[in-house]
Chains A and B, each alone.
Chain A
Amino acid sequence: MQSCHFAILPYCNSVFILDSLLIGSLRFVLDKVVQAAEAEMQDDSALRDQLLEAQMRLELGEITEEEFAETERDILAAIREIKRPQQGAISMSPSDKITGVDIESFESEQET
């Protein structure tokens, strides 16, 4: 959640605030609603941006393969973390539990 907030910050400054000053409070409220909706969806995309950034740094030689692998593992875990409650909200069935167990065991395997 924290990281996503930072990723949207520049847009808040340049686009949203400027618009709201110009067009007025109605637009401001609407923007806030859109922003909130987007923020939820972009949870995942902000993480994907981080992953892309790590890939870029790897190709530039700024980080090593090991550092990249570590970052990638963390980000993928975070993405799974976000995906899980969303899936849970759509449908609850016994099979979901099995998937959850699978992911958990996979993660614990990687961490050891």
Chain B
Amino acid sequence: MFFGGKGGVGKTTCASAFALATSAARQRDSTSARVLVVSTDPAHSLGDALNVRLSASPRQIRSRLDAVELDAPRAFARWLREHRRALGDILEHGTWLDRADVESLLDLSLPGVDELVGLMEIARLSREGSYDVIVVDTAPTGHTLRLLAAPETVGVVAGVLDALQQEHRLIRDRLARVTRGPEAADRLIERLATEAGETAARLRDRRQTSFRWVTLPERLSIAESLDAMRALERAGFRVDDIIVNRALPPSRPCPLCDRRRAEERRAFAVIRRRLSRRRRLRVIPAQLTEPRGLAALARIGRGVVGTKLASTEDTGETEEKPSKGLASVSSVSSVVASSSPTVSPESLPAIRGASLIFFGGKGGVGKTTVAAAIALRMARAVPDRRVLLLSTDPAHSLSDVLNVPVRDEPATVRHGPKNLLIREIDAPRALAARRKDLETALNEIASTLAVGPGSGTDLAAELMNLAPPGIDELFGIVSVVDARADYHAILVDTAPTGHALRLLEMPGAAREWVQALLRVLLKYRDLARPGQLARELVALAKSVRELQALLRDATHTRFIAVTRAAEVPRLETERLLKRLRRLQLSTSAIVVNALTENPGACVRCRTTAAAERQSLAALRRTLRRSNRAARQCAIIQTPLAAPPPTGVVALQHWAGQWK
């Protein structure tokens, strides 16, 4: 049972609520069903939501319910330890590489390891723990699509290994006339291929696997869900349930809540028309306080599991009001004019003078909205400087936030400043475009290193038809490198935390890979003259080295963490800041987004505002306790706006209300 959705829509909440409810329901039937809830997002929130400390080994939450947060690099390391010999044999037999070369290659880190081993780990945990139901809390949309495609990638890898092993097998069978059974290497290849095939089939078997898609009754979330639904169906997965989370229940009049409810009605109309047709629709009402801990989640669980469509009637029947189009709706923000001085984000020391700014944070906190607003302000402030706003999240939101189509080529925004260009990286397409170059390079590697004739080159080409995990981060970095010469400032809107960190770790990983290949080419230079491939690798190594230096140069590069004033995002943000420090990157500002200020008489708004104040105070305390660099980190507060600002005009207006 997979729970997917855009970042911050409540996948973790819904998944854990569902797991709680399922384990409880089965107990009453006196069937001994055991439930495991697994988080596959490299930036886990499951422990924060359940309010327990979790690790990579399942921990009992209560009777018949275990929870686990996958640690993909560790799982991969374990798998590698188990199969290192066999894998090394294959590489040694199938290539000119000697054992030392092979060992150094096996030690390299894999950029897409989270997606590659995620499903394998789930299968292992399921076997070892004999669970009846596995609830998977996935990473935000883009990387979940990569996770689901991973079995195909593993299948191709098995094919490449098989081709490498083929020559050795021939020699063994014909010359040595040894008729022993298959070697460990053969068994490994066989097992990889079988597991990949079985997993791919099981994922598409509707009796065994089901998908529930979580969304908010809000434009950005629905737009991403529609894209994801199309992508999932193309890949042969079927989503049975749509869960609309955080729908506002009716209450006394409140200018802010009323405006949001009007938005929700329009959103529900779209959901019914385009998302929930032929699917079950479940609606979970917004809680008054952030649902953390078992009791709060169990309350929600009844809504996720039960057959009743909670509160759909309230929100559903008044749909299809003549809509004037969202762009023309004036936004109501929670700010009362001139209540306290505002800031101009582009002139803050945290932003001014930067040539590379990364926006990161938990899913759904508003990274794209904040990045777009700052990009617009920066470009307007200095019209003779070229600014590029680049999205590296495979599930892009730039076009939805700016209300314009955005493609893989940099383009200006209608009604926006002419010196601002925007681009959404389409990594699979970029891969396809560079296909010829890469095939040439792979052929060169194969002809240099492979023993057998043409070993695995066809399969390597096949690999390029897929979108291998890690591809988004790789092309994200390549695009930043390429764009550096053409722009004064590049603003990068990253994927949610886990994958943003992977993006920032990518230069290091890429350099290790490039160096390993260079070392091999150099070692065998008498066998094959280092040619075009070596020249390209040298160029790549150089630009990656320069990028690494740039990333650590605080005068040019800034990292801006975007968060919300709530406990789960705050805890994730604090972990993010720690990881960034370890990467020697400086966080210059934290944007606490969408604050409910001056709540008036509305109970909901007042409760929210009070919780936000507490969370904000906790964040400030953490920063004060940290080192000097963290204490200098600016905190920017932005007001909640209903509907969320989209389009050039609304974004610029909204950015004028920041503090």
Interface residues in chain A, defined as those with a beta carbon under 8 Å from any beta carbon in chain B: 10, 49, 52-53, 55-57, 59-60
Inter-chain contacts of B541 with A (CB < 8 A)? 59
CA gap between A26 and B226 in the complex, in Å: 71
Q: Is the CB of A59 within 8 A of B535?
A: no
User: Which B residues between 527 and 550 are near A, CB-CB below 8 angstroms?
Assistant: 527, 529-530, 534-535, 537-538, 541-542, 545
CB contact under 8 A between A59 and B538, given known A53-B522, A53-B525: yes
A residues less than 8 Å from B375 (CB atoms): none
Are A56 and B542 in contact (CB-based, < 8 A)? no
Task: State whether B530 touches A49 (Cβ < 8 A).
Answer: yes
B521 close to chain A: CB less than 8 A: yes
Q: Which 10 A-B pairs have the closest CB atoms?
A: A59-B541, A55-B538, A56-B518, A10-B526, A56-B522, A60-B515, A60-B518, A59-B538, A52-B534, A52-B530
Residue of B nearest to A61 (CB): B515
In whole angstroms, what is the CA distance A10 to B526 when docked?
A: 7
Bound-state CA distance A49–B526 (Å) is: 11
Q: Within 8 Å CB of A52, what residues of B?
A: 530, 534-535, 538
B414 in contact (CB, < 8 A)? no
Cβ–Cβ contact A59 & B522, under 8 A: no
Task: Tell me whether A56 and B514 are in contact (CB under 8 A).
Answer: no
How many Cβ-Cβ contacts under 8 Å join chain A to chain B? 32
A10-B526, A49-B529, A49-B530 known; A56-B545 Cβ under 8 A: no
Q: Which of A56, A57, A60 has the most CB of B within 10 A?
A: A56
Question: Which residues of B sit under 8 angstroms from A53, Cβ to Cβ?
Answer: 522, 525, 530
- What is the CB-to-nearest-CB distance from B185 to chain A, in angstroms, rounded to a whole number? 30
Tell me whether B530 and A56 are in contact (CB under 8 A).
yes
Are B526's CB and A56's CB within 8 A? no
Does B280 lie at the interface of the complex (its beta carbon under 8 Å from any beta carbon of A)? no
Number of contacting residues on B, CB 8 A?
18
Binding site for A on B (CB under 8 A): 514-515, 518-519, 521-522, 525-527, 529-530, 534-535, 537-538, 541-542, 545
A59 to B529, CA, bound (A): 18
Least Cβ–Cβ distance between B520 and chain A, in angstroms: 11
Q: Which residue of B lies closest to A10 (CB)?
A: B526
Kindly provide the distance from the CB of A5 to the nearest chain B CB, expressed in whole angstroms. Answer: 14
Give Cα distance in the complex from A56 to B545, angstroms.
13
Min CB gap A101→B, angstroms? 33
Pick from B514, B525, B527: contact of A59, CB below 8 A: B514
Which residue of the partner chain B has the closest CB to A7?
B529
In the complex, chain B residues whose CB is within 8 Å of the CB of A55? 538
Once A49-B529, A53-B525 are accepted as A-B contacts, the answer to whether A60 and B519 lie under 8 Å apart by CB is yes
In the bound complex, what is the Cα–Cα distance between A59 and B538 (angstroms)?
7
Query: Min CB distance, B4 to chain A, in Å?
Result: 41
Main secondary structure, interface of B, reads helix
Q: Across the interface, which residues of A come within 8 angstroms of B545, CB to CB? A: 59
Shortest beta-carbon distance from A11 to chain B in Å: 9
Query: Complex: how many Å from CA A53 to CA B530?
Result: 8
The answer on a CB contact under 8 Å between B530 and A59 is no
Q: How far is the CA of A21 from the CA of B227 in the complex (A)?
A: 65
Pairs across A and B, CB under 8 Å, 18 listed = A10-B526, A10-B527, A49-B529, A52-B530, A53-B522, A53-B530, A56-B518, A56-B521, A56-B522, A56-B534, A56-B537, A56-B538, A59-B514, A59-B515, A59-B537, A59-B541, A60-B518, A60-B519
Min CB–CB distance A93 → chain B (angstroms): 35
| A residues near B538, Cβ cutoff 8 Å | 52, 55-56, 59
- A60: B residues at CB distance < 8 A: 515, 518-519, 522
Cα–Cα distance between A59 and B522 once the two chains are bound (Å): 12
CB distance from B374 to the nearest CB of A (A): 35
- Which residue, of A49, A55, A57, has the highest number of chain B Cβ atoms within 10 A? A55
Determine which residue in B521, B534, B537, B538 has the highest number of CB atoms from chain A within 10 A of its CB, and name it.
Answer: B538
Chain B residues with CB under 8 Å of A57's CB are 522
Q: Which residues of chain A come closer than 8 Å to B521, judged between CB atoms?
A: 56
Question: In whole angstroms, how far apart are the Cα atoms of A10 and B542 in the complex?
Answer: 30
Q: Are A59 and B542 in contact (CB under 8 A)?
A: yes
- Complexed CA–CA distance, A60 and B545 (Å): 11
Which chain B residue has the least Cβ–Cβ distance from A9?
B526
* Residues of A contacting B535 in the complex (Cβ-Cβ under 8 angstroms): 52
For the complex, what is the distance from the CA of A60 to the CA of B515, rounded to whole Å?
6
Question: With A and B bound together, what is the CA distance between A53 and B529 in angstroms?
Answer: 10
Chain A minimum-CB-distance residue to B535: A52
Q: How far is the CB of A43 from chain B (nearest CB, A)?
A: 15
Given A56-B522, A56-B530, A59-B545, 18 further pairs, Cβ under 8 A:
A10-B527, A49-B530, A52-B530, A52-B534, A53-B522, A53-B530, A55-B538, A56-B518, A56-B521, A56-B534, A56-B537, A59-B514, A59-B515, A59-B538, A59-B542, A60-B515, A60-B519, A60-B522
Q: How distant is the Cα of A53 from the Cα of B519 in the complex, in angstroms?
A: 10
How many angstroms between the C-alpha atoms of A55 and B473 in the bound complex?
Answer: 26
Instruction: Identify the closest chain A residue to B519 (Cβ).
Output: A60
Q: How far is the CB of B530 from chain A (nearest CB, A)?
A: 6
Interchain CA distance A56-B535 in the complex, whole Å: 8
The residue of chain A having its C-beta at the shortest distance from the C-beta of B530 within the complex is A52
Q: Min CB distance, A40 to chain B, in Å?
A: 18
Closest to A6 in B: B526
- In the bound complex, how far is the Cα of B510 from the Cα of A29, in angstroms? 48
> Contacts of B530 on A, CB cut-off 8 Å?
49, 52-53, 56
Closest to B545 in A: A59
- Please give, as numbers and ranges, the residues of chain A lying within 8 Å of B518 by CB-CB distance: 56, 59-60
Tell me how far the C-beta of A23 lies from the nearest C-beta in chain B, rounded to whole angstroms. Answer: 22
Q: Least Cβ distance of B334 to chain A in Å?
A: 53
Q: Which residue of B lies closest to A14 (CB)?
A: B527
B509, chain A: closest CB distance, angstroms:
15
Instruction: Give the complex CA separation of A23 and B542 in angstroms.
Output: 46
Most buried by B among A10, A52, A53, A59: A59
- Which residues from chain A contact B519 at a C-beta distance below 8 Å? 60
Can you name the residue of chain B whose Cβ is closest to the Cβ of A57?
A: B522
How long is the Cα–Cα vector from A60 to B527 in the complex, in angstroms? 20
Q: How far is the CB of B371 from chain A (nearest CB, A)?
A: 33
